[in-house]
Amino acid sequence: MSSGLTHRPQPIWTNAVLAATLFAVDMTGMGGVNLRARCGPVRDTWLEFLRELLPDICPLRRVPHHIGDGRLLGGLDLAATLRSGSPVAERGLLVQANGGAVVLTGAERASVSLAARIGMALDTQEVCVQRDGVCSRNPTRIGVVLLDEGIDDEKPPAALLDRVAFHLDLDGVHLGEIGGRDFDAETIAAARHRLAHVDITEEVMRALCETSAALGIASVRAPLLAVRTARAAAALAGRSNVTRADAAIAAALVLAPRATIIPQAEAPQDKAETPEPSDERHRDSDSDAQSHDHPLTDVVVEAARAAIPEGLLAHLQSAQARLPRANAGRAGALMASNRRGRPAGIRRGEPRSGARLNVVETLRAAAPWQVLRRNTLRGAKQRRIEIRRADFRITKLEQRSETISIFVVDASGSSALHRLAEAKGAVEQLLADCYIRRDHVALVAFRGSGADIILPPTRSLARAKRSLSGLPGGGGTPLAIAIDAAATLAVTTRRKGQSPVLVLLTDGQANIARDGTPGRDKAAADALDAARAVRAAGIAALVVDISPQPHASAERLAREMGSRYLPLPHADAKSLSRAVQVASAESV
Amino acid sequence: MPLAYPFSAIVGQDEMKLALLIAAVDPSVGGVLIFGDRGSGKSTAVRALASLLPKISVVAQCRFSCDPQDKAALCGECRSRLGQGPLKVRQSEVAVVDLPLGATEDRVVGALDLERALSDGVKAFEPGLLAQAHRGFLYIDEVNLLEDYLVDLLLDAAASGENVVEREGLSLRHPARFVLVGTGNPEEGELRPQLLDRFGLSVEVHTPRDLSDRIEVVRRRDAFERNPTDFVAKWKKEDGRLRRRIVTARAALEAVDVPDAALKKAAQLCITLGTDGLRGELTLMRAARAVASLDSAKRVTDAHLRKVAAPALRHRLRRNPLDDAGSTVRIERAVTELFGA
């Protein structure tokens, strides 16, 4: 599958173009593409390729990540309804894209609710609308392109990533390294016709399943997507049966980016080239490590291994060595729940001072009187719908500000050894209480030379527990960095309309300064400085001194932070939990 | 409507399949909650159930699908029809109604018919999803993402068996007895604990770990996608057998004997586990009876109780909410203690 251009394009780019081509062959089968790249010419070129590969009639619709249900799914078309005097339904973006694809911009910030709606459309290939008096079911055969501009651990919702076949990362590709494409729209149209007649052998299917198991991929959707990809690859090559080469392409494009385990190989990692499927290679690489009886599986595993980006390997290794990162979901649930302000009913009233007119309810209120009003208006200028002030209805929203407890846990050497276990117990207890109150929690841990948000704001206890149990201790105490990180997080959550409470569990003895250098004096000064910033930002906080002998430095820190100070030399989980509850009740 | 994947072609996931069958045999079990991993076939199973259910007889002109046999539960319209002579009866599919995310309250409970109100000025009631789901199933995919107030509303209707509408000058009530089925992924947020125990059965699903199972899943799914018609035809016999089993089990349900010993065991199990309230015992007993009926047994035995203990009680334990695997393990321990290994 090499490109026939004068300069050699980057292998990543070649793969990305191949993925776009296969996606164009079978859009609904592949589900879609996650395109991780910054906004720029490389991404634009890829999108343009896709556009050219699709038939002209195929719609390609952009969906912003903050889209409302009305536009996404459809509902009542208010303008048309008012004009015609009878309800007119409006089709949502997903339905409008039927037969084509939607491009989700800002996918890394998409909420889980949006992901669920799109995921459902992908699964059922239809959109079912039950909104504002509109009840419809429309075919929605679409693919989805996720434009992922995330950095570090930011990712689109897992519900979507699981459903799209290709996970491409074009972040390292420069404009000079990209090439052209090998296929044109006609070839693809031919492949699309051939697709239904491509056979796949039992052996290939088994090989793809075994490969996905060898790579530690849990979801069953992955091998299924790989099977469809292999079939599309065969159709593209003009064959009517899937060969090893097709299976290798599927493994490289679909399975490799999902790997959580790197299968063992005797040969060192020297594969930076394209996953050029070579049938000879499988013999010389070891087959004992996998103990597969099927030589094909070895070929496919090898192809996948060759395609695993080097960065992924390093990431996996460091992830195992360091903290387990919670990678499923994200802050999405948070945004959704914030928007979820519970409608506490509809009432008569005028749309003033921010109250939103509920047009559907207003129409409903006006509806029974239409005949009567028209009759009394006889002679005067007739309008389609006669609406009076008394008909106005507004939605009453009951906004309960959500509390979010941000735990900042000192996991450094000074407190870790004897206190970390107790601190963990206390946090678990608090989490349990937060769970009952439906609060969100976030967890920042600091040790060594930095602070990590090991748990972004979430309600999921399973995740909280997981990230907490894997928290190691030891190292320096970068208190200032930790307070800064927590304060930033607090300000962000407050911008979303939540009430953050910082709970700092530490002995207050900083020894790493803001710039990462060791030294007690500088570190202490920086920590106090960070504490003052918290007070200036007006963030509610609680300092829990977890050292065996209460220490003046922690108390000083609390004072500068304008927060309560709680020496808990014998902190048991129960009393700590109670203290935090009191603090958050006072602050909110 | 595209063809649904056949129920009997679902690989493994025995607990989930059993729970759905129990609900099909005895709707009074009170709803099924299915939580688990992505891509483990939760929605597939629920959608497959629809084509498995035997037809029911309904009052011909009734928009709420009233049961002509059950005179006490007729809606107001059918009651007035009753005065004009015998009710006309027709056979109808059991409704499996989707409640999609983003649904608004007016479509769920029903509201003033906007079309007729605007054009004719008539105050007419347009039934909502609760009316459509009467005597059938109401299915919510991603139930944990549905607004809490809607879930509340649904559970209230499911518990009381009727839908009370008081809006826009409309004031009416109609029967709404349905089985609520919810699926979701716990990673995306959990269900409020108060809502949890109002579901009758709760099932945990996991993606198959066994390689041969996984291959089988992929193979069948692929075959289905390539040629849905052939695939469904191939499994038609198996599905038909299952359908007959449901019909037989429904008919025999009343006759299944629940001996005192079984009741005692159920009570003991609930006491050992410390479940709150009587709902656990009641569900346990009903589910065990449905399983016995599905097995064509005359009476409920320990084996039946064992089979349903986990789905009936798992979500009712006073649990440490951080302990994610805990409930199932605790139930297994208690069951082994009570019934022997």
Considering the domain architecture, whether residues B142 and B29 belong to the same structural domain is answered as yes
Q: What is the CATH number of the domain that holds B117?
A: 3.40.50.300
Q: For residue A473, what are its two tokens?
A: 């201790």
User: Distance (Å) from the C-alpha of residue B205 to the closest C-alpha of chain A?
Assistant: 12
* Residue B63 belongs to a domain: no
Share of chain B above pLDDT 90, in %: 28
Helices (H), chain B: 14-25, 42-52, 76-82, 105-109, 114-120, 129-132, 148-160, 193-196, 211-226, 228-252, 260-273, 279-294, 302-313, 326-339
Degrees (nearest 5) of the Cα angle A4, A7, A12? Answer: 80
- Candidate from B129, B188, B221 with C-beta closest to A130: B129
Q: What is the CATH number of domain A11-184?
A: 3.40.50.300
* Residue B88 belongs to a domain: no
Considering the domain architecture, whether residues B198 and B328 belong to the same structural domain is answered as no
DSSP A460-527: -HHHHHHHHHT----S---HHHHHHHHHHHHHHHHHTT-EEEEEEEE-----B-TTS-B-HHHHHHHH
Does the beta-carbon distance from B188 to A460 stay under 8 Å? yes
User: Distance (Å) from the C-alpha of residue A407 to the closest C-alpha of chain B?
Assistant: 16
Please tell me which residue of chain B has the smallest CA distance to A202.
B219
**The total number of residues written for chain A in this structure:** 588
Q: What is the CATH number of the domain that holds B319?
A: 1.10.8.80
Catalytic residue numbers of B read: 279
* Residue B15 belongs to a domain: yes
Nearest Cα to A256, choosing from A304, A219, A210?
A: A304
Name the DSSP letter for residue A255. Answer: I
Is residue B32's pLDDT more than 50?
yes
Considering the domain architecture, whether residues B149 and B27 belong to the same structural domain is answered as yes
Considering only residues 27 to 86 of chain B, which have any Cβ-Cβ distance to chain A shorter than 8 Å?
37-40, 43, 47
Q: What element of type H or E holds A293?
A: none
Domain coordinates in residue numbering, chain A: 11-184, 198-321, 346-398, 402-587
Does the beta-carbon distance from B121 to A218 stay under 8 Å? no
Nearest Cα to B53, choosing from B89, B92, B19?
A: B92
What residues contact residue B83 under an 8 Å CB cut-off, 6+ apart? none
* Residue B307 belongs to a domain: yes
| Cβ A66 vs Cβ A201: under 8 Å | no
Does the beta-carbon distance from A209 to B211 stay under 8 Å? yes
Considering the domain architecture, whether residues B190 and B111 belong to the same structural domain is answered as yes
Please tell me which residue of chain B has the smallest CA distance to A116.
B142
Considering the domain architecture, whether residues B125 and B51 belong to the same structural domain is answered as yes
Helices (H), A54-157: 69-73, 78-84, 93-96, 112-124
3 state DSSP class of A344: strand
Tens-digit pLDDT profile for residues A130-188 = 887 788 888 889 999 999 987 766 788 888 999 999 999 888 788 877 877 777 788 88
Considering the domain architecture, whether residues B30 and B133 belong to the same structural domain is answered as yes
Please tell me which residue of chain A has the smallest CA distance to B119.
A86
Tell me how far apart the alpha carbons of residues B197 and B181 are, in angstroms, rounded to a whole number.
Answer: 13
Tell me how far apart the alpha carbons of residues B10 and B25 are, in angstroms, rounded to a whole number.
Answer: 19
Tell me how far apart the alpha carbons of residues B64 and B81 are, in angstroms, rounded to a whole number.
Answer: 13
| Cβ B31 vs Cβ B201: under 8 Å | yes
Tell me how far apart the alpha carbons of residues A337 and B268 are, in angstroms, rounded to a whole number.
Answer: 41
Tell me how far apart the alpha carbons of residues B256 and A11 are, in angstroms, rounded to a whole number.
Answer: 67
Phi first, then psi: what are they for A507, rounded to 5°? Answer: -100, 0
Last residue in a domain, options B187, B204, B221: B204
Q: Is A402-587 CATH 3.40.50.410?
A: yes
Considering only residues 239 to 278 of chain B, which have any Cβ-Cβ distance to chain A shorter than 8 Å?
none
Tens-digit pLDDT profile for residues B18-28 = 999 999 999 88
Considering the domain architecture, whether residues B199 and B261 belong to the same structural domain is answered as no
Query: Measured between beta carbons, which residues in chain B are less than 8 angstroms from residue A110?
Result: none
Last residue in a domain, options B176, B204, B232: B204
Mean of the per-residue pLDDT values of chain B: 85
Does the beta-carbon distance from B106 to A125 stay under 8 Å? no
Domain hosting B281: range is 254-339
Does the beta-carbon distance from B321 to A461 stay under 8 Å? yes
Nearest Cα to A463, choosing from A62, A50, A112?
A: A112
Tell me how far apart the alpha carbons of residues A302 and A248 are, in angstroms, rounded to a whole number.
Answer: 8
More confident residue, B325 or A270: B325
The residue assigned the tokens 């776009």 is: A20
Stretch among A103-112, A471-480, B250-259, B291-300 having the lowest mean pLDDT: A471-480
* Residue B168 belongs to a domain: yes
Query: pLDDT tens digits for chain A (588 residues)?
Result: 444 444 567 788 888 889 999 999 998 889 999 999 888 888 999 998 888 888 877 788 898 888 878 888 888 777 777 777 777 888 889 998 888 899 998 888 888 888 888 998 998 888 888 887 788 888 889 999 999 987 766 788 888 999 999 999 888 788 877 877 777 788 888 888 888 888 888 888 888 998 888 888 888 899 999 999 999 999 999 888 898 889 989 998 999 888 887 776 544 433 333 344 444 334 333 333 344 455 777 777 777 777 766 555 555 544 433 333 333 323 333 333 333 455 556 667 766 655 667 777 787 777 767 777 777 766 666 667 777 777 787 776 655 567 788 888 887 776 555 566 666 776 677 677 666 666 777 888 888 778 888 778 877 767 777 777 777 777 788 888 888 888 888 888 877 667 788 888 887 788 888 887 888 888 888 888 888 888 888 888 888 887 777 778 888 888 888 887 877 766 566 666 666 666 666 554
What residues contact residue B79 under an 8 Å CB cut-off, 6+ apart? none
A476: contact with B, CB 8 A cutoff: no
A483: contact with B, CB 8 A cutoff: no
* pLDDT-derived band at B288, boundaries 50, 70, 90: very high
Tell me how far apart the alpha carbons of residues A334 and A455 are, in angstroms, rounded to a whole number.
Answer: 13
Q: For residue B152, what are its two tokens?
A: 């509340």
Tens-digit pLDDT profile for residues A473-494 = 777 888 888 888 888 888 888 7
What residues contact residue A344 under an 8 Å CB cut-off, 6+ apart? A396, A397, A398
Q: Taking residues B200-221, report their average pLDDT.
A: 90
Q: Taking residues B38-63, report their average pLDDT.
A: 85
Does the beta-carbon distance from B222 to A129 stay under 8 Å? no
In chain B, the N- to C-terminal Cα span, in Å, equals 47
> What is the domain count for chain B?
2
Considering the domain architecture, whether residues B258 and B139 belong to the same structural domain is answered as no
What residues contact residue B154 under an 8 Å CB cut-off, 6+ apart? B99, B108, B130, B138, B140, B180
Stretch among A366-375, B79-88, B228-237 having the lowest mean pLDDT: A366-375
Q: Which residues pair with A60 in a beta bridge?
A: A101
Q: What element of type H or E holds A216?
A: none
Query: Measured between beta carbons, which residues in chain B are less than 8 angstroms from residue A87?
Result: 114-115, 118
User: Distance (Å) from the C-alpha of residue A129 to the closest C-alpha of chain B?
Assistant: 7
| Cβ B204 vs Cβ A198: under 8 Å | no
Quick one: B105 exposed, middle or buried, by C-beta within 10 A (0-12, 13-18, 19+)? middle
Q: For residue A569, what are its two tokens?
A: 């030399």
Is residue B295's pLDDT more than 90?
yes
Please tell me which residue of chain A has the smallest CA distance to B140.
A120
